[in-house]
Copies of this chain bind each other. A is one copy, B any other.
Amino acid sequence: MSAYPKEPDLSAYMQTVGRNARRASRELARASTAVKNAVLQALADAMARDRVRLLDANREDLEHARAAGLDSALLDRLTLTDAGIDAMADGVRQIAALPDPVGEITDLKMQPSGIQVGRMRVPLGVVGIIYESRPNVTADAAALCLKSGNAVILRGGSEAWRSNQAIAGCLRAALVQSGLPETAAQVIETTDRTAVGHLITMPEWVDVIVPRGGRGLIERIAGEARVPVIKHLDGVCHVYLDGAADPDKAMRIAINAKTQRYGTCNTMETLLVDAAVADRLLPELGRRFEQAGVVLRGCSRACALVPGMEAATEMDWTAEYLAPILAVRVVDGLDAAIDHINSYGSGHTDAIVTQDYSRAQRFVREVDASSVMVNASTRFADGYEYGLGAEIGISTDKFHARGPVGLEGLTSLKWVVLGDGHIRT
């Protein structure tokens, strides 16, 4: 028997998955908040109850992954532990506790014709999630989609196949127990790589794709998809230390934005320093970054102020290092900082440190990024910190959802018109 199942007719299988998801999405759309919350509670309970089966499936995945020579970072992401299962179940329970975004009607206003016009928040329909090795995404993403009234099709990495199928079993049990169709959350059963190609080109069955993974995966999906994609490419985040910055806040925020974690998309990758204060701030910052083990690559003016700083090249201004490396540039004031960010940035998260009210206002308005910050570390750019409760991803696109995407990003608004026999004349 081969390690993973293949479908003899993949296209027909994916069409069936899509059609079933579309049908289930109608029931999800009209499900009450109580029913949706009951599904999530049942899912959390089922995962806790089926703990041994989940750990066994995961152990098998890990054995195959080790035999295939996968690296330790990937093995780490793939591993489910007892505590990890508890965290996964807790995460699902937290999503159950969030307010239901669906059904709210806003701005219902009387128009001159006599009709009332408003907007109702509704699910998108069917969400496709494509992700790599972390099996906890299966529970987490399914919970966010179901809570927002969407059916979901999940496609995880083949290395996590057994773990994901075990979680899929919990999902099906929870749905059936709550009286919803078990096709409301489907985990693709084949590991055939071309399944992804089908999933992203079925606009009749799938309303949006959310890819979660490395840049290669996301670029491929964005390039080939025939349905909208909520995506996140680079996180080239900037902190600009303005001439009117409080020196203590400047130091604290610059150090935190870089060193609190190196591998996250909201970590600072380029530090911009106003020429007016560079000689006062940069030497001390250079020492602190050196102590923290961060390699600095600077423009010529920055290098003149920090002994041992490497010379940056043009490529450093667009680099997402995800490592203890930082690009540093001295700029001539706010306009030059905004120009640099809008030219080289990735539209993720950018911060200014300043005590000057007008400059803070201009930075907030003029920097073109999904998150703009004043006197705060870029590391705050995250669904939990923003009060969304959980996020399905971070979008660096401007369309539909921007920045951390929570339940609301998985919904849309439809127009509601209430009349009393009104006709147009």
With both chains docked as a complex, state the minimum distance between the C-beta of A27 and any C-beta of chain B, in angstroms. Answer: 10
Q: Which A residues, 242 to 284, have Cβ-Cβ distances below 8 Å to chain B?
A: 246, 248-249, 252-253, 255-257, 260
Q: A374-B419, A398-B124, A400-B399 are in contact. Are A366 and B26 (CB under 8 A)?
A: yes
> Using Cβ atoms and an 8 Å threshold, which residues of chain B touch A122?
365, 368
> Using Cβ atoms and an 8 Å threshold, which residues of chain B touch A423?
252-253, 255-257, 260, 376-377, 379
A422 and B375 form a contact (CB under 8 A) = yes
A87 interface residue, CB < 8 Å from B? no
A4 interface residue, CB < 8 Å from B? no
A412 interface residue, CB < 8 Å from B? yes
With both chains docked as a complex, state the minimum distance between the C-beta of A202 and any C-beta of chain B, in angstroms. Answer: 15
> Using Cβ atoms and an 8 Å threshold, which residues of chain B touch A54?
none
B412 and A399 form a contact (CB under 8 A) = yes
A415 and B125 form a contact (CB under 8 A) = no
B109 and A387 form a contact (CB under 8 A) = yes
Partner of A246, one of B404, B416, B421: B421
B248 and A376 form a contact (CB under 8 A) = no
Q: Which A residues, 360 to 392, have Cβ-Cβ distances below 8 Å to chain B?
A: 362, 364-366, 368-377, 379-381, 385-387
A424 and B120 form a contact (CB under 8 A) = no
Q: Label chain A's interface by main secondary structure.
A: mixed
Stretch at the interface among A34-42, A89-97, A111-119: A111-119
A181 interface residue, CB < 8 Å from B? no
B399 and A124 form a contact (CB under 8 A) = yes
A64 interface residue, CB < 8 Å from B? no
> Using Cβ atoms and an 8 Å threshold, which residues of chain B touch A139?
none
> Using Cβ atoms and an 8 Å threshold, which residues of chain B touch A366?
26, 29-30
Partner of A370, one of B249, B404, B414: B414
Count this chain's copies in the assembly: 2
* Docked complex Cα distance between A377 and B376 (Å): 51
> Using Cβ atoms and an 8 Å threshold, which residues of chain B touch A166?
none
Name the residue on B nearest A376 (C-beta): B419
* Docked complex Cα distance between A376 and B111 (Å): 13
Interface string of A398-421 (1 = CB under 8 A from B): 111011100000001111111111
B398 and A125 form a contact (CB under 8 A) = yes
Partner of A111, one of B260, B364, B385: B385
* Docked complex Cα distance between A371 and B118 (Å): 10
With both chains docked as a complex, state the minimum distance between the C-beta of A250 and any C-beta of chain B, in angstroms. Answer: 9
A342 interface residue, CB < 8 Å from B? yes
A75 interface residue, CB < 8 Å from B? no
A117 and B416 form a contact (CB under 8 A) = no
Which of A120, A248, A414 has the largest count of B CB atoms less than 10 A from its CB?
A: A414
Partner of A417, one of B117, B368, B373: B373
Q: A125-B368, A399-B412 are in contact. List 12 more A-B contacts (CB 8 A).
A: A109-B387, A255-B423, A370-B415, A371-B415, A371-B417, A372-B414, A380-B417, A380-B424, A381-B415, A385-B424, A399-B399, A404-B415
List of 6 A-B pairs having minimum Cβ-Cβ separation, nearest first = A376-B419, A249-B421, A256-B423, A379-B424, A400-B400, A373-B417
Listed A/B pairs (27) with beta-carbon separation below 8 Å: A30-B365, A30-B366, A103-B365, A115-B376, A115-B385, A117-B386, A120-B372, A122-B365, A246-B421, A248-B421, A253-B421, A256-B424, A260-B423, A260-B425, A371-B414, A371-B416, A373-B419, A374-B419, A377-B419, A377-B423, A377-B424, A380-B419, A380-B424, A386-B417, A399-B399, A400-B400, A404-B415
